[in-house]
Structure 1
Amino acid sequence: MKDKEITIKDIALKAEVSTGTVDRVLHKRGRVAPSVEKRVLKILKEMEYEPNIIARALSSKKEYKIAVLIPDDAYDNYWFAPKAGIKKSLKELKRFGLTVKFHFFDPYQVHSFVEKANEVNNELPDGIILSPIFHRETLPFVQNWKKAEVPFVLFNTEISDFEPLSYIGQDSYLSGFLAGKLINYGQCDPCTILIAHFDEETSNAAHLEKKEQGFRNYFTQNNLSQKYELIRADIETQNASLTVKQLDEVFETNPNIKAVFVTTSKAFEIAAYLNQKHIADVKIIGYDLLPKNIHYLKNNTINFLINQNPKGQGFWSLQLLADKLIFKKEVPLLKYLPLDIVTKENLNYFVGEEIEG
């Protein structure tokens, strides 16, 4: 362990050069004779010099503008948590000159996303955070950001083809695979299993396709295809009467449904429907600790919730951008958060939890 912190002055004294020369070597700016640079680098390594990045960032007058492009939680309560996570991270980072501007769009209207994405383009931010729920429409914006060398972080929806600075969230495929395992446990008799997608154009939502693929592959890989019939339904919730009509058709056509996998945060829609229709003995697996989901988890209508930690997704999105822009650190391409299985019995350990990962 070093007895004291090594400074630039210590390096300069040992290398018999000025502190300005050491600074130029460290930051690769200005002209330094090759032999001098080699000597300084050797001494830096020998003395295990570690720059005080935090102090440097605090003393810098540079400002960093971050644009956040996410759905408005007024339309879907799920998006309140990542917004809160970003704000929590900002409290720690604003002293380094970092500012955040939110651009909220209607998650059910593509034109709303495009409008807000154009706003981001016009602002020329230093970094961008987004959840690319509209795959096709996001692609041209991503291409522009890459050309402009603006780093962007994806959360919630992983699309590796976009080549972001980093992705924060869960492995969608594995979360679907896990849901399949949870449904199979305790299910002795052959039955029909419903895969329910709510309010999403799945062909344009890569994460939902991956969840369904992982779910289906669990049954295929475990030779359960003969035991279970897997069916899929795309349900709309913007019109309550239409939602009920669609679910009526699914359950009347498939009377042997004994389990439902909801690929979004809207497991409560299935739970409310089953309660309304007095349909019992149907296992429900869904995502996220929304108040409505928690209600039905507590009364045993929902069996399991897979916690995606949306607050943590938002928190780490801003943290990783700050690591890149302010602290000049290497940022991981992927930051997968745990696949937490939440039940009625362990719910209290997750509600109001601190951000982890």
Structure 2
Amino acid sequence: MDKNKIIRIKDIAKLSGVSVGTVDRVIHERGKVSEVSKAKVEKVLKEINYTPNLLAKTLGSNKVFKIALLAPHLDEDPYWNLALSALGSTQKEWQPYHIEILPFYFELHNADSYHKESERLLACNPDAVISAPIYLPEALTFSKKLKVMNIPFIHFNTLITEADPLAFIGQDLYQSGRLAASLLNLVCHDQKGSLATLHIVQSIQHSIHFQDKENGFNDYCKALASPQKTTSILINAHTQELFEASLLKAINEFEVKGLFIPTSSGAKKTAEVLRNNHLKDIKIVGYDLIQDNIDLLRSGEIEFLINQSPNKQLYRGVYHLAHHLLFKNPPPKKELFPLEIITRENIDSYTCAQILNQ
């Protein structure tokens, strides 16, 4: 039979030597069919590699699949504003296929808020979940509840392996830390001093994605032919003045020549301190194409940015969950985005592409 020809139920009936009704009952597993007739139909189905049109079947049932999103509130941080910028267009794209995306937002630096929103999400009994599991203990608890309820879930931005999600969408955070170390060593190799990971997040002890980046950074520096000294600086300051005093103290104490900032929002505060104190020789590697970082890269106050494409992570996560719900297609266990190095020379091409993809 012509492989390009659309196979209809009446074609299968003709090939099997049974009625259209019998074929329909075999395909949809309903009603009584004799073992002989069933065997004839299944033999033909196997020969023609027949696959039922699951999309038509689903749309015909009028079932609406609910995909719940659990993420930090987009107004709290420019990174999450960028990460969720594709939500509106993604909702519109999947709406004709009876896919509804329900967002639940938690406060970025509030683990209790994460827990409360995860409980609200569970109460709506979604068909699938995509989440950014920033807080380790709370995320593990949430994942266990999803498993008990038999709700498939995908992680984006941060992977918690113990939670065993259906898939992870994002970057290899350990490797991105190694990349940052490589870039800083490239521009600081002829200077004396140490390289530092700078954390400016109150809840760093709960943020596993920061830890993975720092581990990669430190391991790279230790494995060099001449191991590079590293240190970790944690600053919990509520004013720019206190932040500046703490950073300058650490820079002097550890003789810092390069700073790795594993968050997208920390580079602006850091660059301001270096600028005000004429410390232009200290190099910075940061993350993500938020506007402040773009401006600092163009002015030369940041050497490199590592692009995580956060706006694409959400889109791909919803894509995989939609295909899983509609077509029973299992997603890849991991979809890792490339580690993109952004410099002053290529920033324009990335910002233009980012505008077009919004």
- Please, what TM-score do these two structures have when normalized by structure 1? 0.92
Deviation (angstroms), 1:352: 4.4
SS state at 1:67 partner = strand
Structure 1 residues 185, 61: closer, same or farther in 2, change over 3 A? same
Counterpart among 200, 214, 217 of residue 215 in structure 1:
217
SS state at 2:327 partner = coil
Alignment pair present for 1:314 and 2:314: yes
Determine the structure 1 residue equivalent to 2:16: 15
Deviation (angstroms), 1:209: 1.2
Alignment pair present for 1:330 and 2:333: no
Determine the structure 2 residue equivalent to 1:283: 283
Alignment pair present for 1:95 and 2:96: yes
Distance in 2 between residues matched to 1:284 and 1:71, nearest whole Å: 26
Runs of 5+ consecutive residues of structure 2 not aligned to the other structure: none
Structure 1 residues 29, 174: closer, same or farther in 2, change over 3 A? farther
Q: CA-to-partner distance for each residue in 1:83-128, whole Å, 9 max, x for gaps?
A: 2223322221111111122111111111211111111121111111
Q: CA-to-partner distance for each residue in 1:163-213, whole Å, 9 max, x for gaps?
A: 111110001111111111111224223321111122153332222111111
Q: Which moved more, 1:54-63 or 1:329-338?
A: 54-63
Distance in 1 between residues matched to 2:198 and 2:262, nearest whole Å: 6
Distance in 1 between residues matched to 2:336 and 2:323, nearest whole Å: 17
Determine the structure 1 residue equivalent to 2:274: 274
Letter of the 2:213 counterpart: K
Determine the structure 1 residue equivalent to 2:353: 353
Structure 1 runs (4+) greater than 4 angstroms displaced: 27-35
Deviation (angstroms), 1:35: 4.5
Q: Which moved more, 1:154-163 or 1:27-36?
A: 27-36
SS state at 1:323 partner = helix
How many residue pairs end up in the alignment? 353
Distance in 2 between residues matched to 1:273 and 1:18, nearest whole Å: 80
The equivalences for 1:99-178 within 5 A come to 99-178=100-179
Asked whether the equivalents of residues 168 and 313 of structure 1 are also in contact (C-alpha less than 8 Å), the reply is yes
Letter of the 2:262 counterpart: T
The equivalences for 1:27-46 within 5 A come to 27-29=28-30, 31-46=32-47
Determine the structure 1 residue equivalent to 2:250: 250
Deviation (angstroms), 1:135: 0.7
Deviation (angstroms), 1:49: 2.3
Q: RMSD over aligned Cα, in angstroms?
A: 2.1
Asked whether the equivalents of residues 262 and 287 of structure 2 are also in contact (C-alpha less than 8 Å), the reply is yes
Asked whether the equivalents of residues 88 and 315 of structure 1 are also in contact (C-alpha less than 8 Å), the reply is no
Distance in 1 between residues matched to 2:87 and 2:179, nearest whole Å: 28
Identity %: 34
Distance in 1 between residues matched to 2:51 and 2:124, nearest whole Å: 35
Determine the structure 1 residue equivalent to 2:208: 206
Distance in 1 between residues matched to 2:334 and 2:312, nearest whole Å: 14
SS state at 2:143 partner = helix
Distance in 1 between residues matched to 2:271 and 2:335, nearest whole Å: 32
Structure 1 residues 14, 238: closer, same or farther in 2, change over 3 A? farther
Letter of the 1:218 counterpart: Y
Determine the structure 2 residue equivalent to 1:342: 342
Determine the structure 2 residue equivalent to 1:262: 261
Distance in 2 between residues matched to 1:269 and 1:244, nearest whole Å: 8
Structure 1 residues 239, 74: closer, same or farther in 2, change over 3 A? farther
Distance in 2 between residues matched to 1:119 and 1:202, nearest whole Å: 25
SS state at 1:270 partner = helix
Runs of 5+ consecutive residues of structure 1 not aligned to the other structure: none
Deviation (angstroms), 1:310: 0.4
Distance in 2 between residues matched to 1:51 and 1:200, nearest whole Å: 52
Q: Which moved more, 1:50-59 or 1:293-302?
A: 50-59
Distance in 2 between residues matched to 1:232 and 1:353, nearest whole Å: 35
Structure 1 residues 13, 231: closer, same or farther in 2, change over 3 A? same
Distance in 1 between residues matched to 2:261 and 2:121, nearest whole Å: 32
- Please, what TM-score do these two structures have when normalized by structure 2? 0.92
Distance in 1 between residues matched to 2:271 and 2:30, nearest whole Å: 62
